[in-house]
Amino acid sequence: MTPGLSAFIIILTTLNVVGAVWLMLSMRRRRGDEPGPGAETTGHVWDGDLGEYNNPLPRWWLWLFFISVAFAIGYLVLYPGMGNYAGRLGWTSINQHEAQQRASEAQAQQIMARFTGKSVAQLRDDPAARVVGRNLFANNCAVCHGSDAHGNPGFPNLTDQDWLYGGAPEQLEATIAGGRAGVMIPWQDALGASGVENVLAYVLTLSGRSVPAGDVATGKQLFAANCAACHGEDAHGNQALGAPNLTDHTWLYGGSVDAVRASIAGGRQGQMPAQLERLGPQRVKLLAAYVLSLGAGGGSGAAAP
């Protein structure tokens, strides 16, 4: 703050303390002056003859008062309060915040130390590691995947056996560390409305669904020509691309006819944000171990048919 403002604050604070002491001393009367006829009154009179004695303040109250004043002076010497004067202790809220941060980081390091050098599979079997993983998940992942990790439309369920990018420890670690970007281009323009309807009909038959409209045979040809490259000839998906299995009953974006049509016609671009830079390798590993512990199996990495 400017020197002028600083001086203003110092003067104001000093006047306050000095003024309070002066007021108290001036109001204080010697003890022992018992009230009686002729004793000092405040001079206030009501109803013609009703006066008000100026009795001494209770001793305990005065003591409390002087202790507060002494405290205020001590505080103003040790801590910042007098304008720009920093206080003898050199305390600042930023220093304190940084010290607390260092302490909690050191504590976290201590907790993390017991997990270093362990594999994701070993961490999955360590109950203490799973507790840390669960907390990390609640803070960093639940907002998208849900606190129970069951996911939402567009955000995959992490507790089932159905993996876009694979459920093996190293695949989970790679997904979490580096993030993932699913790219499914829109087909509306390339195939036209009837083309989308035909391929939609074919896709739905893959999971044994009835067909609203469209020609399944044509749809099958369109699929082989346009979709098999990513989703596979048998439509079982491709974990290298994150292309989902289209033959099961698990749908990332919802399995209603409208939702599947929207996926094909409009495309989909799911983004899993990378965590390595934010959380560091140790926390990523703990998260991978926690996710691994959610899916009963994990390890094979194969999507369930």
Query: Distance between CA atoms of 55 and 31, rounded to whole angstroms?
Result: 9
CB of 238 to ligand HEC, least distance (A): 8
CA dihedral for 283, 284, 289, 294, sign (positive or negative): positive
CB 292 within 8 A of CB 121: yes
Does residue 159 interact with ligand HEC by CB under 6 A?
no
Answer yes or no whether residue 270 interacts with ligand HEC by CB under 6 A: yes
CB of 284 to ligand HEC, least distance (A): 8
Q: How far is the CB of 9 from ligand HEC (least distance, A)?
A: 46
Span 60-119, contacts to ligand HEC by CB under 6 A: none
Site for ligand HEC contains 129 (CB under 6 A): no
Q: Does 248 bind ligand HEC (CB under 6 A)?
A: no
- Residue with Cβ nearer ligand HEC (83 or 227): 227
Torsion angle defined by CA atoms of residues 298, 300, 302 and 305, in that order, rounded to the nearest 10 degrees: -80
Note whether 294 binds ligand HEC by CB under 6 A: no
Does residue 262 belong to the site contacting ligand HEC (CB under 6 A)? no
Among 184, 265, 289, 294, binds ligand HEC (CB under 6 A): 184
Please, what is the Cα angle at 166 between 162 and 168, to 5 degrees? 110
In the chain, what's the furthest Cα-to-Cα distance? 118
How far is the C-alpha of 249 from the C-alpha of 304, rounded, in Å? 10
Give the integer Cα–Cα distance in Å for 171 and 184.
21
Rule CB under 6 A: say whether 268 interacts with ligand HEC: yes
Would you mind telling me the total number of residues written for the chain in this entry?
Answer: 305
Tally of CB atoms within 10 A around 267: 14
Q: How far is the CB of 113 from ligand HEC (least distance, A)?
A: 21
Q: Interface with ligand HEC by CB under 6 A: which residues?
A: 140-141, 143-145, 154-156, 158, 163-165, 172, 175-176, 180, 182-184, 187, 199, 203, 223, 226-227, 229-231, 241-244, 246, 251-253, 260, 263-264, 268-273, 275, 287, 291
